[in-house]
């Protein structure tokens, strides 16, 4: 008697940089951790759907912090086969100071970060192109690379897409990391054109494209050919579009207590993408991602406890059948 082949676990790869994170706490003390926008999203994706395989494409050094960082990846169930190592570069560092409203200010030390030359490191180490179901990258990951390496990264992503992977892009704009908004616009255009799913922030598009409202963003993304996107519009909420049609609008529902907005967008991205990848509707995926982000802002630091996310996931599973979407 023949046995049915078991479906393979979905595979999500995130591309970007992980840094040492110093979070200001009481007095002059700081709490040390590790974080980065796409890595944060990857960790939350893994927590939301533990059966998926989540891989990180990046580079780190061989210093003490780099070794601790590698252990951190493994602790969170992240596949590290695509993390290149540099003998003469280390990892970047940033500090977070949070005000009384939970809003953050950052300082960075990343000039010698191995992730800034990840493309040449991977080329030197001849890492093979592994099959993926989805590849996720962001404006921050693009911004740290030279323009030549940006081209190489986009070519790598297109190669994954040619092999059947969905491509997801989050604008995540940081003005200080670009040579002006026009420079960012050139590369965002290229990124959006090779993406199947986009997670644009309205504030990002106001800064980069001078878009004034959700309709401006929608018109632009339709023009460049994105088939699915969620526009994060602050107090207006989240607008989900599929095949040029508004599929779901979820109003902004602030958390009961906002302690720290670090990784709110990252957790939203990770949970949304893994939910879509594993078959949830857009409405369900936005609901799940919103619930996760609302939980994350009630805690300090980028990565909250696994128990907190498990509790939210259980709440979502109990509610999801009650979610009625008027657009679908």
Q: Per-residue pLDDT for 277 more than 80? A: yes
User: pLDDT band for position 102 (50/70/90)?
Assistant: low
- Degrees to nearest 5, angle at CA 42 with 41 and 43: 95
Q: What is the spatial distance between Cα 299 and Cα 144, in angstroms, rounded to a whole number?
A: 28
Please give the average per-residue pLDDT across 173-198, as a whole number: 97
* β-sheet with 93-98: strand ranges across: 30-35, 19-24, 93-98, 104-109
pLDDT digits (tens, 9 = 90+) for 53-80: 999 999 999 999 999 999 999 999 999 9
> Shortest CA distance to 173 belongs to which of 3, 37, 1?
37
Cα distance from N-terminal residue to C-terminal residue, the chain: 42
Residue 125 has pLDDT above 80, yes or no: no
pTM of the complete model beyond 0.85: yes
SS3 315: helix
Lowest mean pLDDT among 41-50, 94-103, 110-119: 94-103
Strands 93-98 and 19-24: parallel
pLDDT in tens, 78-98: 999 999 999 999 999 988 777
The one catalytic residue in 37, 196, 204, 266 is 266
Q: Tell me the per-residue pLDDT of 206-238, one tens digit each, with 9 for 90 and over.
A: 999 999 999 999 999 999 999 999 999 999 999
Q: What integer is the mean pLDDT of 7-31?
A: 88
Q: Which pLDDT does position 187 carry in this prediction?
A: 98
Q: How confident is the model at residue 7 (pLDDT cuts 50, 70, 90)?
A: low
Annotation marks residue 196 as catalytic: no
The answer, yes or no, to whether residue 204 has pLDDT greater than 90, is yes
Domain boundaries, the chain: 12-322
What does residue 254 show for φ and ψ, rounded to 5 degrees? -60, 150
Select from 183, 249, 187 the least CA-distant residue to 224.
187
What dotted CATH number matches 12-322? 3.40.1190.20
**Tell me, what's the pLDDT at 8?**
79
């Amino acid at each position: 008697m023949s046995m049915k082949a078991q479906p393979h676990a979905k595979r999500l790869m995130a591309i970007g940089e992980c840094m040492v994170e110093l979070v200001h706490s009481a007095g002059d003390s700081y709490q040390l951790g590790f974080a980065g926008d796409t890595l944060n999203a990857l960790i939350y994706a893994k927590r939301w759907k533990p059966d998926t395989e989540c891989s990180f494409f990046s580079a780190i050094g061989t210093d003490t912090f780099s070794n601790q960082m590698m252990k951190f990846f493994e602790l969170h169930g992240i596949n590290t086969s695509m993390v290149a190592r540099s003998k003469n570069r280390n990892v970047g560092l940033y500090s977070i100071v949070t005000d009384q409203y939970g809003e953050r200010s950052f300082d960075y030390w990343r000039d010698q970060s191995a992730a800034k030359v990840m493309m040449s490191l991977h080329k030197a180490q001849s890492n093979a192109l592994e099959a993926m179901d989805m590849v996720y990258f962001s404006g921050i990951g693009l911004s740290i690379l030279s323009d030549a390496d940006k081209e190489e990264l986009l070519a790598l992503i297109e190669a994954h897409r040619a092999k059947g992977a969905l491509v997801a892009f989050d604008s995540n704009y940081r003005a200080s990391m670009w040579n002006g908004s026009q420079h960012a616009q050139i590369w965002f255009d290229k990124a959006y054109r090779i993406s199947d799913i986009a997670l644009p922030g309205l504030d990002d598009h106001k800064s980069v494209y001078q878009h004034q409202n959700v309709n401006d963003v929608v018109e632009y993304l339709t023009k460049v050919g994105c088939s699915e996107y969620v526009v994060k519009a602050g107090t207006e909420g989240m607008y989900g579009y599929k095949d040029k049609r508004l599929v779901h609008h979820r109003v902004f529902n602030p958390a009961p207590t906002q302690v720290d907005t670090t990784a709110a967008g990252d957790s939203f991205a990770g949970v949304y993408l893994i939910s879509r990848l594993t078959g949830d509707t857009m409405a369900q995926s936005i609901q799940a991602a919103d619930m996760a982000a609302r939980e994350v802002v009630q805690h300090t630091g980028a990565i909250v406890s696994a128990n907190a996310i498990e509790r939210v996931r259980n709440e979502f599973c109990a509610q999801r059948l009650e979610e009625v979407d008027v657009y679908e």
